[in-house]
Amino acid sequence: MSLFPTRQWLDAYRHEINESTALDDVGVGWGVGSNGDVLIVVEDLPLSATRLGDLPDVVFDGVPEAVEEDLVDVTLDDAPELMDRTVRQHFPPVAQRLLDQLETCVVDGNIYCYIGLENGNCPAVEILQDPGEREVGAVLEAPWNVWQGIIDGRPATSAVLSGDLSVETDGPLGPQTLTILQLLGDVAADVETTFLFEQPRRSMPDLVLDEAVRQPAAVQKLAYRQAALTSRLFSLF
């Protein structure tokens, strides 16, 4: 089980991408002769509104109760400064990693996740200090709760149509790009995830849009995958 958003979750996501047969089929030729890499921007983390006591139990599992009581009201904004490395070493590994990443991976409340993509495979992932560190072919930006919704099964296409998820690409949003975008969301839902932040309730119109999009998106993915397989078959002759 990986905490989202953390480096450990990103590593687990890479594993699932590389295990995806659907991405193997649809991603043929993706990033070959062009930049197929993706930057995922997780925006507006609620660090000042989230206390250590609000985090999932697994984060401080094993910490003495008296110590935990002293920490419950500390916000994630303040935690890295209040608890330096000499203090952190007495915490469970999960808590140590989280505090380290709050200090080193969050930039102005955002996390920048680089996803290398080529031919349906993911050779590398990385959390960037600066979004300009890597050249990418697509940038996907959304607030943290939108990403959590996608990981929880919301169709990525629905998030785009509602304006919750911003997509910028070097080229047009063709069938392959749209299909890969949806598959990246589907694969994210395959990661065994524990959310750091409590997911707010979504509105009924948003839920209706999700369901309206879900079936057509599934048909589109299947059609493109079948077309890709047919193309590969004929290329053998």
Mean pLDDT for the stretch of residues 177-200: 91
User: Amino acid identity of 127?
Assistant: I
Q: What is the pLDDT of residue 145?
A: 96
Strands 138-143 and 166-169 come out as: antiparallel
Tell me how crowded residue 129 is: count the other CB atoms within 10 A of its CB: 12
Q: Which residues pair with 47 in a beta bridge?
A: none
> Would you identify the CATH topology of the domain 2-45+108-234?
Nonspecific Lipid-transfer Protein; Chain A (3.30.1050)
Mean pLDDT for the stretch of residues 201-229: 61
Q: How far is CA 12 from CA 2, 104, 106, 124, 129, in A?
A: 7, 20, 19, 12, 20
Tell me how crowded residue 124 is: count the other CB atoms within 10 A of its CB: 12
Q: What is the pLDDT of residue 89?
A: 84
Q: What is the pLDDT of residue 71?
A: 87
Tell me how long the chain is.
237
User: Does pLDDT of 207 surpass 80?
Assistant: no
Dmax (CA) for the chain in angstroms is: 71
Mean pLDDT for the stretch of residues 72-80: 94
Q: What is the pLDDT of residue 64?
A: 82
Task: Find, among 33, 31, 232, 181, the residue nearest to 120 by Cα.
Answer: 31
User: Does pLDDT of 62 surpass 80?
Assistant: yes
Q: What is the pLDDT of residue 233?
A: 43
User: Does pLDDT of 17 surpass 70?
Assistant: yes
Instruction: List, in sequence order, every beta strand (DSSP E) within the chain.
Output: 2-4, 38-43, 111-115, 125-128, 138-143, 166-169, 193-195
For residue range 112-150, what is the model confidence (pLDDT) as tens digits? 999 999 999 999 999 999 999 999 999 999 999 999 999
In three-state secondary structure terms, 135 is coil
Domain boundaries, the chain: 2-45+108-234, 52-104
For residue range 79-100, what is the model confidence (pLDDT) as tens digits? 999 888 888 888 899 999 999 9
Task: Look up tokens 């949003």; give the residue.
Answer: 173
User: Does pLDDT of 78 surpass 80?
Assistant: yes
User: How would residue 237 be classed by pLDDT, with cut points 50, 70 and 90?
Assistant: very low
